Amino acid sequence: MSVTEKRVAATLLDHYNRDTGQCDPALNTIATLLGINRRTAIRATASLERSGYFRIDRHGGKFHRNSYQPIWARFRACESGWSERRKRVKQFRSAASELSPLQGSRCHVGGGGSATQTYSNNRSDLTSASQERQSQQAVSAIEGTAVKRLSKKSGSDRQYSNAQERFHGKRSYGDIARTAAERRWNEALTKQLASAPEVFAGVIEAIDSDLSHATTEVELRHRGRGVEFLLVQLDRRKPLTNADV
């Protein structure tokens, strides 16, 4: 999702009434709260519907406003993938966060006092070139092990965490291509199961992180084949009964 789509999604969830299930903020209200154009709000809500995050009942709310129903299975799938990425990032960072064992030597300063020449909390990558190389090698080894383990499950190399992209700089061409591939098969799945919302919710809930990554890799290598691969894999686990699938 784009930044605007995420803000609109958060606004819709903020208007969701857990007791009544009502969620029908006016488009002008959304636009005013977020400081965006009304047309931008319309495009964002339509994109959220295509991506499977909300079901829109047009003119089905109070005062003939649109009614928005969150598809919780889609949000749970995103939350599960995000938690797994956060866990991997935490593992990678912990390997490189050890403090330098060098405590520094003592030296005299003015006034008869003494102080360390090296700050006691210096990290290894700031005090020693050799320790810097060792730290980088340790991180590379951990990353390599993680990628190999995940590759055995999905049958292909796994992409690095999207969280790292957000916090640590520009995205590579490969990451951009994978994001586009993931968006394509998500949109194709939503379009194919648009007439069967119950089946769609069940399919979304059945997609775990490994299957999601594997589907993205198939879509990346064979454009338009991701959804076909996904449904075949799900059918092997539990045969799909809806004729539309």
What's the confidence (pLDDT) of residue 167? 45
What's the confidence (pLDDT) of residue 91? 72
What's the confidence (pLDDT) of residue 53? 93
Q: Which amino acid is at 140?
A: S
What's the confidence (pLDDT) of residue 235? 82
What's the confidence (pLDDT) of residue 138? 58
What's the confidence (pLDDT) of residue 237? 74
Say how far residue 78 (Cα) sits from the centre of its chain: 6
Q: Tell me how crowded residue 168 is: count the other CB atoms within 10 A of its CB.
A: 10
Dist. CA 44–CA 14, nearest whole Å: 16
Which residues lie closer than 8 Å to 12 by C-beta, 6 or more apart?
23, 25, 30, 45, 48, 54, 68, 70
Give the torsion through C-alpha atoms of 216, 218, 223, 226, to 10 deg: -70
Burial class (CB in 10 A: 0-12, 13-18, 19+), 28: exposed
> What pLDDT tens digit does each residue of the chain (245 aa) get?
789 999 999 999 999 998 988 999 999 999 999 999 999 999 999 999 999 999 999 888 888 889 999 999 988 888 888 888 888 877 766 665 555 555 555 655 555 555 555 554 555 444 455 656 665 665 555 455 544 554 554 444 444 445 444 444 455 777 788 888 888 988 888 888 888 777 777 788 788 888 888 999 999 999 999 888 988 888 887 665 555 44
What's the confidence (pLDDT) of residue 137? 64
